[in-house]
Chains A and B, each alone.
Chain A
């Protein structure tokens, strides 16, 4: 049977079932006696087994078969759903997800699942405590990185750090392995940052490993120095270090792992029922929607042209037809965009498990509250926002929430809370990550910023807390030494900020020491069609996105002032800098304006205002954002181009780049 044509459906459904298992497992943990949940999981596993066997992916089939057996025993009340069992099923689901994403990236879907299979077999035969065994089986294997780790590694490499994979073997006669390993970890942490360990840090420091453990490590010192430092710890038999290369390619692959299935309703419904329920939806390949949108953009451009022509000809019939067409295209646009919209649920869904895992590794207790997961966002934004969110949540869990003991000491509940919220507001979507952890230490961030030369002592005193916190997003704040200094806040946060800004969004931090921190991300609903103000600069036309415009002002020559050679104006009692677009973009000057008045477009970024000096204001227009293509990337102050009604090209100004921080 030729199975190629079914591969998309197979992948979509597999992802749905894996997600369903995931959700149900989390439910099951809360309510281990609930057999109907077990039933749902069983059915999902069963369906997966059938599908994968049909498609010839034997490793998936083998693993799901074993899962099914154990689940069947639970279902028939032959055993109960212990944490060990839930853990091993979680681990299996994770492995399956890796395989599925491998297949969707064109891989052959092969994966060594023997460790997991034998672990489940062990459970099946009645040994419960096998999860340690599994972790140990991993010891010799290579590392599997999650998005966050890949990001840290590739970012670290970009900044000239070495990424090393280190295996440390203790001598056979070493008795207290835990403290010994702790000493190694402590030495390593003084030289750089430990990104991942095998087994987990906790297990290493408890001595739960066979003589050897492995560490992924980024550092600025040489391989040789790292080796010497570790060897200087007693009772070390062997240290082997190798450099990790080639993470970049993996990163991109991983980054697009996001599920693209457009369906979103509750995924725990078993498949047969689901089909009848969902008979009114069809699956459409996303590429098709994208193509449709592209074609539609062309229509929007032609519509503008028609509008121009109609106005020129002044033919009433034509004008009224064009007006009607405008209305229809506007509706079409909304509809089309809504097709591309996906609920943030897709991204949020992975967090419960991530937090569960992190909390366990770190010995913390954390509840995750999610609200607004039905909030919809453009598909592109969804894809891109996932990594930054992972990063921020890790940050909150790792460095924000304190360990239970510390929390009790300061009179908080030992269980920390991380809240993840999404909601619409105007043309924007807000995503907030709030924790009730230790908060950010203003003093330390300020001091670090001064040390780094980002800030003068004097300035620091005058700045608000929020302004100070913004420094944790500065590049270079993310190095290992800072991690411990400012309670960890700062690991690669500049990457997060850059990503969000490149999506046309912004991020702010609020924090109260001892009470917690809140990261708020503001994102545009969609990226491709935007409302803009067209302006004329000499003979060139530019488009300025309406979302960043505060207002337009007519400024008489006399009101233009200079401070330290910088032109400024008085804007409602506030002195704001003025930039001339013709200077910035070096527009050839043909005629010096004889006007007594300048037109100024006041734009904002956060609470910073800047006036952009232009020659003429043309009017508001819906423009289609087209990229400048791969050859002309990263042009300062320009985010793209659009084709105007008269066929001319207008560059779209990126006010965020023009406004100085």
Chain B
């Protein structure tokens, strides 16, 4: 069981992901609604894993990964991408994201990503 911070600007997506995660037996310790919020919550909550939407107001997901990596180089971030965001995903991985999942999420994929990330 891992402590997870869910980041997405859409409440609906956060709810859905939270639902999947808790069914898989993980604890969602916090929710962030933009990149900046996520960076602060990571400092505050020290989650095991962060899920990160890409397109968000204030600070996008890719930039947030960069910021998080600055103070926690081992932070495990899973990007949540939509189809067609190929280049953004590449940028995020280059910035240090550990894995990515593509919307719409399937429970299996989320589980796999978490297993691989937690290794």
Contact = CB atoms under 8 A, between A and B. Distances in A.
Interface in A176-198: 176, 178-179, 182-183, 186
Contact of A179 (B100, B113, B116, B119): B100
A225 to B, nearest CB: 14
Interface string A203-221: 0011100000000000000
Contact of A176 (B81, B113, B116, B119): B81
Contacts of A234: 99, 101, 109, 112-113, 116
B83, B86, B112, B113 — which one has the most chain A CB atoms within 10 A of its CB? B86
A183 B116 contact: no
Contacts of A232: 116, 119
Given A176-B83, A176-B102, A233 B90 contact: no
Contacts of B81: 176
A642 to B, nearest CB: 60
Chain A facing B: main interface SS: loop
Given A175-B102, A234-B113, A234-B116, A207 B86 contact: yes
Nearest to A207: B86
Contacts of A178: 86, 90
A235 B90 contact: no
A176 B93 contact: no
Interface in A205-264: 205-207, 232-235
A232 B96 CA distance: 16
A235 B86 CA distance: 16
B90 A182 contact: yes
Interface of B: 81, 83, 85-86, 89-90, 93, 99-102, 109, 112-113, 116, 119
Contacts of B100: 176, 179
28 contacts: A175-B83, A175-B102, A176-B81, A176-B83, A176-B86, A176-B89, A176-B100, A178-B86, A179-B89, A179-B90, A179-B93, A179-B100, A182-B90, A182-B93, A183-B93, A183-B99, A186-B93, A207-B86, A232-B116, A232-B119, A233-B99, A233-B116, A234-B99, A234-B101, A234-B109, A234-B112, A234-B116, A235-B109
A307 B119 CA distance: 82
A183 B85 CA distance: 15
Contacts of B90: 178-179, 182, 205
A179 B86 contact: yes
Contacts of B101: 234
Residue of A175, A179, A183, A234 with highest tally of chain B CB at under 10 A? A179
